[in-house]
Structure 1
Amino acid sequence: MVSQMQFKKSTSLIRQIYYYALDNIPRVPWKCIMFHNAARPKALFIMWLHLLGKLLTADRLNKWGIEVEPKCSLCQSYDETREHLFVQCSYTRAVWNRVLQWLQMQSYQPATWEQHQLWIIKHASGKSQRAQVFKLLSTEIVHAIWIERNMTIFKKLSRNWEAVTKEIVYVSCVRAPPSLHHILQSLVF
């Protein structure tokens, strides 16, 4: 077995610099969600921004001095934050509960964004078909919630959570690789 030092000596200078730079960058705990995910590229991009905390929610825009309606456009009950929109909002919870019911998984109601993120990482980790399905669906859910939020704000169009859930399931079934088709087709929506 070749040691890592011998491997690095036998590679190019560019590769050595790359590995040196990687040693100084902390690993993100959510990389399992992003890699080998069959979700649409635009959904992966939204998920990436979401995991980094860079989506422009109302609270972030207001902090920057941009005047926007602070209320959540989906439930109209609480101020819109990342935590509210993706974890605490009744609309989002209904979508998650219906998708989890479809997956024959136990419903889960996290209290904070950190709990929610850890729960997603736990179920999306590994190479199992179940983990692949879960990471695809969780990415499509985040994307669908964000798009529905934007449609409600900018186009004044809103759909009920059942329609959004059906779209998530449909897109996930279409995007799933052939190795996952039998799992998704065995589930009844």
Structure 2
Amino acid sequence: MRKDRDSKETSKCALIPLDVILPRIGTQKLDGLVWHKARIHKHAFSTWLFVLDRNPTLDRLLRWGCDVEQTCLLCVSAEVWRMVLALLHFPTPPTSWNSILLWLPGASNDKFMRLALLQAWQACIYEIWRERNRRFHDGISFSPTKIFHLVRSVVRIRAQSLCSRNSDYVSLLLCWSSPP
């Protein structure tokens, strides 16, 4: 637990400030993690908001007095992240936000595997954010497996679209074509 400005304890979901992370990975690398060639625009934009800590998280919603379920999505997000990266043959990926930000820039030397990782990361962020909204606004919850299938489906469709315009992206499509 850490304390926020009002000396109230915040959950373990709290992030290390961006100014601590940036010197370690650099702004240019951070931009490359978000604004890459295989991005899905709504995923990239959502990711950018989360990286900058500009998206209302559970802690912030609680401070604003919103009536929200106080169950953190960390368990769901870690499970979805593990399933997606197991599909990409990364058996032990980092699961904390800061570890992921530090790990991603050097996670793979292969151009297309790197793009697949970045697609996966952004799609996971987007779909977990949507899961949070489903729970908060609609009272509906999806299983981690269902969220995994949503992530896999959207990145495969994007890879197919890139491949249809440029055959160089066949390797990216192959990253997403292995059986679940």
Q: Same fold by TM (over 0.5)?
A: yes
Q: Which residue of 1 aligns with 2:30?
A: 30
Q: Which residue of 2 aligns with 1:3?
A: none
Query: What do the CA deviations read for 1:95-146 (whole angstroms, capped 9, x no partner)?
Result: 0111111111122244x4322211123337x671110111111100100000
How far is the alpha carbon of 1:69 from its aligned partner?
4.0
1:115 partner letter: S
Which amino acid in the other structure matches residue 48 of structure 2? W
Shift of residue 44, structure 1, vs aligned partner:
1.0
Choose the corresponding residue for 2:91, options 106, 109, 112.
106
Match of 2:176 among 177, 184, 188: 184
> 1:56 Cα shift?
0.3
Count of residue pairs the alignment pairs up: 146
AA aligned opposite 1:153: F
CA distance in 1, matches of 2:94, 2:31: 23
Q: Map residues 66-85 of structure 1 onto 2, 5 A cutoff.
A: 66-69=64-67, 71-72=69-70, 76=71, 80=72, 85=73
> 1:40 corresponds to which residue?
40
Which of 115, 135, 147 is the matching residue for 2:99? Answer: 115
1:159 to 101, 118, 142: 142
5 Å matches for 1:51-90?
A: 51-63=51-63, 66-69=64-67, 71-72=69-70, 76=71, 80=72, 85=73, 89-90=74-75
* One-letter amino acid of the structure 1 residue matched with residue 36 of structure 2: H
Retained in 2: the 8 A contact 1:37–1:136? Answer: no
Kept after mapping to 2: 8 A contact 1:47/1:139: yes
Unaligned runs of 5+ in 1: 1-25
Gaps of at least 5 residues in structure 2 are 1-25, 164-168
Seen in structure 2, the aligned counterparts of structure 1 residues 57 and 154 have a Cα distance that, compared at 3 Å, is same
CA contact (8 A) 2:107 2:114 kept: yes
Cα distance in 2 between the residues matched to 1:122 and 1:44: 19
Structure exhibiting the larger radius of gyration computed from Cα positions: 1
Q: Deviations over 1:23-58 (max 9, x none)?
A: xxx835411212224232111111010110111012
CA distance in 2, matches of 1:96, 1:28: 24
> Residues of 1 paired with 2:117 and 2:50: CA distance?
17
Give the structure 2 partner of residue 9 of structure 1.
none
Identity %: 21
